[in-house]
A = this chain, B = another copy of it.
Amino acid sequence: MAVNLLPPDPKALSPVAGVELGFAEAGIRRANRRDLMLMRLAPGSRVAGVFTQNSFAAAPVQLCRQRLAASGSFRALIVNAGNANCGTGDAGLAAARRTCEAVARAIGCDSGEVLPFSTGVILEDLPVERIETALPRCVASLAAAHWAEAAETIMTTDTVPKAASRSLHLDGTGVTVTGIAKGVGMLQPNMATMLAFVATDAAVSRALLDHLVREVADLSFNRVTVDGDTSTNDSFILIATGAAGAPEIGSERDPRYAALKSAVAAVAVELARAIARDGEGATKFITIDVHGARSGEEAVRVAKTVAHSPLVKTAFFASDPNLGRLLMAIGNAGVADLDTSRVDLYLGEVKVIAGGGRAASYREEDGARAMQPAEIAVRIELGRGDASATVWTCDFSYDYVKINAEYRT
């Protein structure tokens, strides 16, 4: 069902010096599938993250937040699919801690240097002993080349594994950025938690890495939406091992920062777009560009309001150029003092709304043609400023209802 999304070519995923990935079948929810992924990091690796805003943050999210507040250096990430360890109270926190302790014993580090992640069903106890049993196989399979396998291991309702890679030079030192993701958005469906892990072998100070992960999240995972819901486990983690050997980047003003940010953002955007392409029941991949806003925040708000509207999404599914729904959605974004007579809208190259009404040149058959492709660009001009933003989403089909109505059966 994914829209123009192929599994990653393992050869196109460059290893990141200082990162090894292992996987195993732990039988956490279902037998005979990989569901446990271990990422071992070279000593001195720095980690930063952003997490779900949901009040019911899962136990591993709570533990990650505590540990990232206390330290920026970590040796391992452990990720299980099949169980979210959420709504599990103190027992859930204990289970997450015990998982980290098992990893620490297995690879020889402090358990506080391990970060845990879970995705899957919620309100069920995490079967820690199955994780402990499977861990030795995870460790035995650790290899720098296992990014594609890692991407497959962390999937839940995903139909295609998601991974991306970029290489660049920073003052003559070759540096790699490689990442994997699963699930369907910081704003996402089906408790199919979004997890994303992006690593680079560049060296970045703790404070700057913390800044970078937020900047990149705002350009990528915070710009993708499937149905507007937000999971209890959503996490985006950025790792800088420093193993490429280049001097540490410690300031935004260091010219290498912009180059590295550009590569990290490229990987994150590719992963975020892959998430929308693989949205539940998706038949169309939709890019919404808003221009002429007074602020970036305003542009994002308009784009997301359009992207979230079930009426707009069903119109895309039906390939129906229903201009009224697009106008209605823009009008619902709560933009103060919006002069609707300055609003223009394009479907692909077709100008459909001019000055807040139907464009004089618009013909229904042109709109119908613009709604046919599997990838559609919507451009909205607000005519009130210079800010712009892009949001990615997918349509809303019978299969969305089917997938979500039958999820647990």
Interface residues of A (CB under 8 A from B): 53-57, 84, 86-89, 121-123, 189-191, 227-232, 308-311, 314-315, 317-318, 320, 322-325, 327-335, 338, 340-341, 353, 355-358, 396-398, 400-402, 404-409
Name the CB-closest residue of B to A122: B324
Is the beta-carbon distance between B401 and A328 smaller than 8 angstroms? no
Q: What chain B residues lie within 8 Å of A314 (beta carbons)?
A: 400-401, 404-405
Q: What chain B residues lie within 8 Å of A406 (beta carbons)?
A: 318
- Give bound CA distance, A168 to B57, whole Å: 51
Is the beta-carbon distance between B311 and A310 smaller than 8 angstroms? no
Q: Among the listed B355, B396, B398, which residue makes an inter-chain contact with A89, where contact means beta carbons less than 8 Å apart?
A: B355
Q: Among the listed B53, B87, B310, B397, which residue makes an inter-chain contact with A228, where contact means beta carbons less than 8 Å apart?
A: B310
Q: What chain B residues lie within 8 Å of A122 (beta carbons)?
A: 323-324, 327-328
- Give bound CA distance, A228 to B329, whole Å: 10
Is the beta-carbon distance between A324 and B87 smaller than 8 angstroms? yes
Is the beta-carbon distance between A87 and B356 smaller than 8 angstroms? yes
Q: What chain B residues lie within 8 Å of A398 (beta carbons)?
A: 398, 401-402
Q: What chain B residues lie within 8 Å of A227 (beta carbons)?
A: 310-311
Q: Which of A230, A322, A355, A401 has the most CB of B within 10 A?
A: A401
- Give bound CA distance, A237 to B392, whole Å: 39
Q: What chain B residues lie within 8 Å of A328 (beta carbons)?
A: 54, 56, 122, 191, 229-232
Is the beta-carbon distance between B87 and A335 smaller than 8 angstroms? no
Is the beta-carbon distance between A324 and B121 smaller than 8 angstroms? yes
Distance in Å: Cβ of A78 to nearest Cβ of chain B: 22
Q: Among the listed B87, B318, B355, B408, which residue makes an inter-chain contact with A327, where contact means beta carbons less than 8 Å apart?
A: B87
Q: What chain B residues lie within 8 Å of A355 (beta carbons)?
A: 89
- Copies of this chain, count: 2
Q: What are 8 A-to-B residue pairs whose CB atoms are below 8 Å?
A: A54-B331, A89-B356, A122-B328, A227-B310, A229-B328, A232-B327, A314-B404, A317-B401
Distance in Å: Cβ of A335 to nearest Cβ of chain B: 6
Q: Which of A311, A335, A338, A357 has the most CB of B within 10 A?
A: A311
- Give bound CA distance, A396 to B330, whole Å: 23
Known: A55-B331, A311-B190, A401-B401. A407 touches B320 (CB 8 A): yes
Given pairs A53-B332, A87-B356, A123-B357, 11 additional interface contacts (CB within 8 A): A56-B330, A122-B323, A191-B324, A191-B328, A229-B309, A229-B329, A310-B404, A311-B404, A318-B405, A397-B401, A400-B401
Is the beta-carbon distance between A123 and B324 smaller than 8 angstroms? yes
Distance in Å: Cβ of A307 to nearest Cβ of chain B: 13
Q: What chain B residues lie within 8 Å of A310 (beta carbons)?
A: 189, 227-229, 310, 400, 404
- Give bound CA distance, A405 to B310, whole Å: 10
Distance in Å: Cβ of A100 to nearest Cβ of chain B: 21
- Give bound CA distance, A398 to B314, whole Å: 11
Distance in Å: Cβ of A290 to nearest Cβ of chain B: 14
- Give bound CA distance, A335 to B53, whole Å: 10
Known: A54-B332, A56-B331, A189-B310. A86 touches B324 (CB 8 A): yes
Name the CB-closest residue of B to A337: B55
Distance in Å: Cβ of A121 to nearest Cβ of chain B: 7
Is the beta-carbon distance between A317 and B230 smaller than 8 angstroms? no
- Give bound CA distance, A122 to B323, whole Å: 8
Distance in Å: Cβ of A328 to nearest Cβ of chain B: 6
Distance in Å: Cβ of A234 to nearest Cβ of chain B: 11
Q: Among the listed B191, B228, B317, B353, which residue makes an inter-chain contact with A325, where contact means beta carbons less than 8 Å apart?
A: B191
Name the CB-closest residue of B to A305: B229
Is the beta-carbon distance between A229 and B397 smaller than 8 angstroms? no
Name the CB-closest residue of B to A232: B328
Is the beta-carbon distance between B327 and A358 smaller than 8 angstroms? no
- Give bound CA distance, A89 to B190, whole Å: 41
3 tightest Cβ-Cβ pairs between the two chains A and B: A318-B405, A56-B331, A122-B324
Name the CB-closest residue of B to A314: B404
